[in-house]
A and B are shown apart, each in its own frame.
Chain A
Amino acid sequence: MAFVSRGFRGRPRRDVDTSRVPPGQYVVDDFPVLSAGPTPHTDTGDWSFRVDGETDEPAAWTWEEFMALPQETFTADIHCVTKWTKLDTTWTGVSVDTLLDGVVTEAEHVVAWCDGDYTTNLPLEDVTGGRAWLVHSFDGEPLAREHGGPARLVVPHLYFWKSAKWVRGLTLTVDDRPGFWEEAGYHNYGDPWREQRYWSD
């Protein structure tokens, strides 16, 4: 083992509830801000969201139209590939099922694309069935810009790099198209419970 420093203990580490905290993760109380680039600044007046790609009926919403859709408030645990887990986070937004309602497609994949150059890819079945939301509020307050405001994707069952900040659309694709981090070495799917961090995990 490396040289042990007398008297160093590190941050107090709590006992981990393994039914809620995936392998290799630790629980945090704050909300770390991580970003692949500068924070975009899109006002809700300029914002729109699209569902397009492999479909004959692309759809789009302005902010007002988005806010007029059926809203849900939900609580979830979130897990970042950099090993922090935050329990009981509460979000408000629109289920992706609502956004995809009526969309006919042969696609089995989606690419979430965002202000800035960030993208991430997901199987279509992982953003449907009540497993993904387009959210505008965190803990009852409008989503801070640094955390993805005005709106971001939240897909709690996958590592949080899949919950794209500043998201502006979902493009339905027949082929799987690895996104920003998937191309760069992170796992294509990213299940925290199977610790799928790296492409060959």
Chain B
Amino acid sequence: MERLTWRVATVSDLVDETAHARTLVLDVDGWPGHVAGQHADVRLTAEDGYQAQRSYSIASAPEDDTLALTIERIDDGEVSPYLAGEARAGDGFELRGPIGGHFTWRVEQGGPLLLVAGGSGLVPLMAMLRHRAARASTTPAVLLVSSRTAEDILYRDELARLAAGDGLAIHHTLTRGAPDGWDGFEGRVDEAMLRAVAPAPSGEPHIFVCGPTPFVEAVADLLVGLSYEPASIHAERFGPTGG
């Protein structure tokens, strides 16, 4: 594996996913390609030389020509207000990657897949689903997404389109209130919800859980309690409050 080098990423498009999250579509000179689930380091340098660096999961499929990062804007953050606020098409910053080997999935690994996302933890799992779609894979997959409100759901329309295809079931739960006519789950992910949607342990699913640390740990504990093999549960924690 070649040593990581900083490359310049240029913003070619911006997509507001929700009121708080924006996707940057990037052209990255010499990008070596990635595997779904990996992340990239972003480094911003100010004119006076001050630098700040953060990691962001790659949202795009490896098959895409451009690289996409979905950034949740944190109010008193240092980097996210720039990336998901100030930055516009034509702007650039440094990017290094792809990084990570443990939290990855390739179609060749097979399934079934169980993906459980808390908030912006959906980003790397979306890369996996986009990869699955780009390869026209029919590997059985279940995605369970926990979001605060319906307005906070990332990629909601795209998920609905993907779910219309073969072998993919998408389930949502909202923890801070559901709109009228909501036909998804409500409340935090719990044992009953997982029993209802997840492929049976006997199917030996590949499991990926991503989101804030408390969410990931609660879900991982539930899954172990439901007899899923601990070694089959891949977890990526985003810290106390998430990405």
Q: Do A and B come from one complex?
A: yes
Q: A residues near B, CB below 8 A?
A: 1-11, 13
In the bound assembly, the distance between CA atoms of A3 and B78 in angstroms comes to: 18
Residue among A8, A9, A10 having the largest count of chain B Cβ atoms under 10 Å: A8
Find out whether the CB atom of A3 lies under 8 angstroms from the CB atom of B91: no
B30 within 8 A of A: no
- A33 shortest CB reach to chain B, Å: 9
Find out whether the CB atom of A5 lies under 8 angstroms from the CB atom of B78: no
Residues of A within 8 A of B78 (CB): 10-11
Find out whether the CB atom of B91 lies under 8 angstroms from the CB atom of A4: no
Find out whether the CB atom of B45 lies under 8 angstroms from the CB atom of A3: yes
B182 within 8 A of A: no
Find out whether the CB atom of B8 lies under 8 angstroms from the CB atom of A8: no
In the bound assembly, the distance between CA atoms of A1 and B6 in angstroms comes to: 12
Residues of B within 8 A of A8 (CB): 44-46, 52, 82, 86, 93
20 residue pairs bridging A and B, Cβ less than 8 Å apart: A1-B49, A2-B51, A3-B6, A3-B8, A3-B45, A4-B45, A4-B46, A5-B44, A5-B46, A6-B91, A6-B92, A7-B86, A8-B45, A8-B46, A8-B82, A8-B93, A9-B46, A10-B44, A10-B50, A11-B78
Which 7 residue pairs spanning A and B have beta carbons closest together?
A5-B93, A2-B45, A8-B44, A10-B50, A5-B44, A7-B86, A11-B78
Find out whether the CB atom of A5 lies under 8 angstroms from the CB atom of B82: yes
Interface residues of B in 66-106 (CB under 8 A from A): 78, 82, 86-87, 91-94
Interface residue tally for chain B (C-beta within 8 Å): 19
Find out whether the CB atom of A7 lies under 8 angstroms from the CB atom of B82: yes
Find out whether the CB atom of B92 lies under 8 angstroms from the CB atom of A3: yes
Residues of B within 8 A of A1 (CB): 45, 49
In the bound assembly, the distance between CA atoms of A2 and B8 in angstroms comes to: 10
B157 within 8 A of A: no
B43 within 8 A of A: yes
* A3-B46 CB under 8 A given contacts A8-B82, A10-B78, A11-B78: no
Residues of A within 8 A of B108 (CB): none
Find out whether the CB atom of A2 lies under 8 angstroms from the CB atom of B94: yes
Interface residues of B in 1-33 (CB under 8 A from A): 6, 8
- A16 shortest CB reach to chain B, Å: 14
B183 within 8 A of A: no
B47 within 8 A of A: yes
- B232 shortest CB reach to chain A, Å: 25
Find out whether the CB atom of B94 lies under 8 angstroms from the CB atom of A3: yes
- A138 shortest CB reach to chain B, Å: 20
In the bound assembly, the distance between CA atoms of A4 and B52 in angstroms comes to: 11
Residues of A within 8 A of B46 (CB): 4-5, 8-10
- A160 shortest CB reach to chain B, Å: 21
A3-B94, A5-B91 known; 5 new pairs, CB 8 Å cut-off, are A2-B51, A3-B45, A3-B93, A8-B93, A9-B50
- B80 shortest CB reach to chain A, Å: 12
Residue of B nearest to A8 (CB): B44
Residues of B within 8 A of A3 (CB): 6, 8, 45, 92-94
Interface residues of B in 34-53 (CB under 8 A from A): 43-47, 49-52
- A22 shortest CB reach to chain B, Å: 19
Residues of A within 8 A of B50 (CB): 9-10, 13
Residue of B nearest to A2 (CB): B45
